[in-house]
């Protein structure tokens, strides 16, 4: 088997984790909550914020004014495969995000 096929097979075996994350402004206490069908994309969200291209205007403005160190990014929950299979990805993410939003109190949705 050639190297390309081996790499392709290894890539297919990588487990994709969906879940809920928060970005908290440590100065104001604002909690932005979002969901991703692949939490590895969270680095892309941080990159967008650092480069000034994130779509959520309020979060982007605060990030620009206060800088990355004023924020804390946390993965709150990784969805179990059984839940995703039972409810479907979209519904499972929505329900889990609503649960976390209720638990955390006042949150601002990024989705």
Say if CB 19 and CB 35 are below 8 A apart: yes
Give the pLDDT confidence score for residue 19 in this predicted structure: 96
Q: How far is CA 65 from the centre of its chain?
A: 22
CA-nearest of 105, 76, 73 to 18 is 76
pLDDT of residue 1: 62
List the pLDDT tens digit at each of the 111 positions of the chain.
Answer: 688 888 777 766 777 899 999 999 999 999 999 999 999 999 999 999 999 999 999 999 999 999 999 999 999 999 998 888 889 999 999 999 999 999 998 889 987
Q: Are 76 and 96 in contact (CB under 8 A)?
A: no
Place of tokens 């179990």: 80
pTM of the model: 0.84
pLDDT attached to residue 90 = 93
- What is the C-alpha to C-alpha distance for residues 50 and 60, in angstroms, rounded to an integer? 9
Q: Which helix (H) or strand (E) holds 88?
A: none
């Amino acid at each position: 088997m050639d190297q390309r096929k081996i790499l392709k097979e290894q890539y297919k075996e990588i487990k994709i984790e969906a879940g809920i994350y928060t970005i908290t402004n440590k100065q104001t206490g604002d909690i932005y909550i979002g969901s991703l069908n692949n939490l590895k994309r969270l680095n892309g969200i941080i990159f967008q914020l650092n480069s000034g291209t994130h779509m959520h205007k309020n979060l982007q403005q605060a990030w620009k004014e206060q800088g990355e160190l004023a924020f804390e990014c946390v993965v709150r929950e990784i969805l179990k495969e059984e839940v995703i299979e039972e409810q479907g990805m979209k519904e499972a993410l929505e329900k889990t995000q609503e649960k976390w939003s209720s638990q955390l109190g006042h949150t601002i949705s990024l989705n």
